[in-house]
Structure 1
Amino acid sequence: MDIVLFVFIILFASILQTSTGFGFSIMATPFLLLLFNPIEAIRINLILSIVISLAMIRAVHRDIDHNLLKRFSLGSIAGLPIGILVLLFIDMDSLKIGIGLLVLSLTFMLVIRLRITRTAKRDITAGGMSGALTSSIGMPGPPLLLYLSGTDTDKAKLRSTTLAFYLLIYSISLAVQIATVGTTTETWILSLYGLPLVFAGLWAGQKLYHIINQQQFRFVTYIILVFTGLYLLFGNI
């Protein structure tokens, strides 16, 4: 049963990540935590997310908003150490509940068509929040998804820019984890088992990406955010 669940988690999350630019860590991490210890689950997520980003970056690099990517990256530099401090000094369950409430509240604002005007400072802030969530709970996606959806960013630009950003932030996070916590052979073996599923998801997700329009794309992002918020909230109450 665990094997079937592992296959479903990795395959579905890969399809979602490839078709929307979001979703792998948001969908995979909560369910991987049901199968593995937290460090192992987050490490598998990091490794496979890097593989997805590397596999896709060449195909989507023309759509990257380089100025936005630079601002996200700049913000993440400040956000990563903040997330580590939060992880050290704040109870993890309380942190997840707070983030769940925030995600659900902001998603409601997006559903009622609240719009955000993009500025350089807000770009950097979104990157900082994403960096903090990466180093604290391994989920960089929600802040970027909320921000870019609220600014009506084109789906091609959204997907490509976030993929490039994830490649950077996941690589840094993985390197820091290995340097400070170490690694295990089992983690790499499990990640290796996940590779065929990731590549199958890449193929299916790419097909889906060309089928869904901007309105459907926005609907999928709302579903992802609601699921994430509910999981973080009720999974810890």
Structure 2
Amino acid sequence: MGEALSDLATAHLIALAGISILAGLIQGSLGFGFAIVSVPLLVLLDERLAPVPQILAALPLSILVWWRERAHTEVRAVVLMSLGRLPGTFLGHALLGVASAAVLDVTIGSLVLFAVVVLAVGRAVPRNPTTETVAGLLSGTAGYVSAISGPPIALLYKGAPGATARATISLILVVGSVITLSGRFMGGRFTELDLWLGAVALPSTLLGLWLSGFVKDRIEGRPMQLGILALCTLAGVALLGRAGTRMAAPPTPLDDATEVARSFDPIRRAARSTRSPIGRRVGGGLGSGRVRAAPSAPSRPARPVGP
């Protein structure tokens, strides 16, 4: 754990815990919103803090929210949106390979804001097999790319009762998070640091869920609709803002080989450690750009020739 978190500032870890409390409170009240609140703020502090740790921390949160409201779950919507998330995950993985993160943020953020405007001035989108499957597809793509997968689903539940929205959205997010994490793991976009950061954020996330129990019953009808639209607007603006930050920053492209190398690689970590025999021979040369040769075996004295 020390090696995994040692490069992160203590203040950033404290911020991770504090933001997770607020994000857990919001998701516990509305059924979604954890990543919308936490990811943009944490990325501004350190890009290593997001997005995978938020998916890890939000997974048990979504399970608990669903369990609390499970009697109001719409099973058909869960099945159709989950099926839609499967191709959405593959699409997100493919997009990360051909488009920059900034371009994807602009695209997803613009689509979310467009949907908010349409729903704010018109009627709610009807929930039927077609809209539910499309929402699942968009949610899977956005979730893989940015961890912000809630808006496409939540916009369908703009006019639904609070308990129905929280239960159904939460169960969809549970299934979707498992799909997204599996896709990232198989695609080499999952690191040991992500695991530790998710563990750091989890207690604060659960504290936020506990606090939501005092306010969730007051968010029904019009407040629920306004909350969904407000959070989706925040998501779109945050994605556009993050895109601007990424465009302004110096480019640091990471190809797939680099991402895989950052994943679980005990041999590489052992080579870096100066406490291991491998590290003493090889790791010492990594920082200076050269590899130290291992000591050669002593040569035997030549045998005399002749009688």
Tell whether the structures are fold-level matches, with TM greater than 0.5.
yes
Instruction: Specify the alignment match of 1:28 in structure 2.
Output: 38
2:146 matched to 1:133?
no
Q: How has the CA–CA distance of structure 1 residues 113 and 169 changed in structure 2, closer, same or farther, with 3 Å as cutoff?
A: same
Instruction: Specify the alignment match of 1:186 in structure 2.
Output: 193
Which one of 130, 135, 139 corresponds to residue 121 of structure 1? Answer: 130
Q: How has the CA–CA distance of structure 1 residues 77 and 188 changed in structure 2, closer, same or farther, with 3 Å as cutoff?
A: closer
Whole-Å Cα distance in 1 between the matches of residues 201 and 109 of structure 2? 28
Matched pairs, number = 234
Q: Equivalent residue of 1:160, what SS?
A: helix
Q: For residues 75-131 of structure 1, what are the alpha-carbon distances to aligned partners after superposition, in whole Å with 9 as ceiling and x for unaligned?
A: 112211111111111222112112222212221222223332222111111111111
Q: Matches of residues 165-204 of structure 1 in structure 2 within 5 Å?
A: 165-181=172-188, 183-204=190-211
Q: For residues 183-230 of structure 1, what are the alpha-carbon distances to aligned partners after superposition, in whole Å with 9 as ceiling and x for unaligned?
A: 544333332222221121111112210122221111111211111111
Structure 2: 5+ residue runs without aligned partners? 1-10, 245-307
Whole-Å Cα distance in 1 between the matches of residues 95 and 130 of structure 2? 22
Whole-Å Cα distance in 1 between the matches of residues 28 and 141 of structure 2? 23
Letter in 2 for 1:27: V
Whose RCO is larger (CA < 8 A, sep 6+)?
A: 1
Instruction: Specify the alignment match of 2:69 in structure 1.
Output: 60
The percent of aligned pairs where both chains have the same amino acid is 23
Instruction: Specify the alignment match of 1:154 in structure 2.
Output: 161
Instruction: Specify the alignment match of 1:218 in structure 2.
Output: 225
Whole-Å Cα distance in 2 between the matches of residues 67 and 183 of structure 1? 31
Instruction: Specify the alignment match of 1:19 in structure 2.
Output: 29
CA contact (8 A) 2:85 2:136 kept: yes
Letter in 2 for 1:25: A
Structure 1: 5+ residue runs without aligned partners? none
More helix by share: 1
Whole-Å Cα distance in 2 between the matches of residues 173 and 231 of structure 1? 21
Whole-Å Cα distance in 2 between the matches of residues 17 and 197 of structure 1? 13
2:15 matched to 1:5?
yes
Shift of 1:156: 1.2
Whole-Å Cα distance in 2 between the matches of residues 212 and 170 of structure 1? 25
The normalised TM-score by structure 1 is: 0.91
Q: For residues 24-76 of structure 1, what are the alpha-carbon distances to aligned partners after superposition, in whole Å with 9 as ceiling and x for unaligned?
A: 011111122123335x5122111101110222332221111001111111111
The normalised TM-score by structure 2 is: 0.71
RMSD: 1.8
Which one of 95, 115, 130 corresponds to residue 106 of structure 1? Answer: 115
